[in-house]
Amino acid sequence: MKPAPIILTVAQTGASGAVLTRAMLRRLEADTRVERVDFIISEGGLRVCAEEIGIPGRSKLLNHILGHVPKKTVEQANIDIGGSVASGSYPSDGMIVLPCSMGTLARIASGMAQALIERAADVTLKENRPLLLCVRETPYNRIHLRNMQLASDAGAVIYPVTPVFYDLPKNTDDMARQYVDRVLGHIGLPQDDAYVWSGRAKR
């Protein structure tokens, strides 16, 4: 039997790491197993996009991120607390917050769903669907660690933005792709060309 197509929610918040979000959305757009991606970006995320990858604003945002007109990625407004992903009746196979700021983590951990990103995360948890919080901060203070523990206790997976070097990346795009492949593998979408450690670094 052919597996059911995947529907995912991807959120970008105001932490550094726009190159990661771009790599994630491009991977999902190209993945034939994925039917739809609901993308939510905060105002802080928009600022990071402008500063880190040169996207000037919200106009044609997904076109700029993907490099083409989106085929399966749909943007939802973070201010729309009643967006489709705010309901447990909406079909979804999980949610990835990449990158996840400490403020977003705190609101998710405490159930403060004042915008669509936090509400979608809350729904993901209550429906027992996978929620990956790709937290981005260093060093962590005790509040950060406490909030990570609370979110983990509620069912979220804390997946810190931690690059690896054993695959000898040539540039930041390589590092972003390797990290994104790990995240997608964890949520059940392993990539055929993802780097797999074989006991020695590639040359």
d(CA 39, CA 131): 14
Q: What is the pLDDT of residue 199?
A: 78
d(CA 55, CA 39): 16
- Is the separation of the CB atoms in 32 and 71 below 8 Å? no
177-191 core/surface letters (b: 16 or more CB in 10 A; e: else): bbbbbbbbeebebee
- Is the separation of the CB atoms in 14 and 52 below 8 Å? no
d(CA 94, CA 121): 9
Domains of the chain by residue range: 6-187
Q: What is the pLDDT of residue 164?
A: 87
d(CA 16, CA 151): 21
Place of tokens 């931690």: 162
High-pLDDT (> 70) share of the chain, %: 98
Q: What is the pLDDT of residue 58?
A: 85
Helix count and strand count (H, E) for the chain: 7, 6
- Is the separation of the CB atoms in 71 and 34 below 8 Å? no
Beta-strand relationship, 95-100 and 73-77: unpaired
d(CA 15, CA 90): 27
Q: What is the pLDDT of residue 91?
A: 94
pLDDT along the chain (203 residues), means of 10: 87 96 97 97 96 90 95 96 96 97 98 96 98 97 98 98 91 94 96 86 65
Q: Which two tokens stand for residue 72?
A: 């399966």
Alpha helices in the chain (DSSP H): 18-30, 43-53, 61-66, 102-110, 116-126, 142-154, 172-187
High-pLDDT (> 90) share of the chain, %: 87
Residue among 94, 96, 176, 177 nearest 134 (CA) = 96
Taking residue 163's Cβ as centre, other Cβ atoms within 10 Å add up to: 13
Half-sphere exposure of 87 (CA within 13 A, CB side): 6
CATH architecture classification, 6-187: 3-Layer(aba) Sandwich (3.40)
Q: What is the pLDDT of residue 200?
A: 75
Give per-residue pLDDT as tens, 9-29. 999 999 999 999 999 999 999
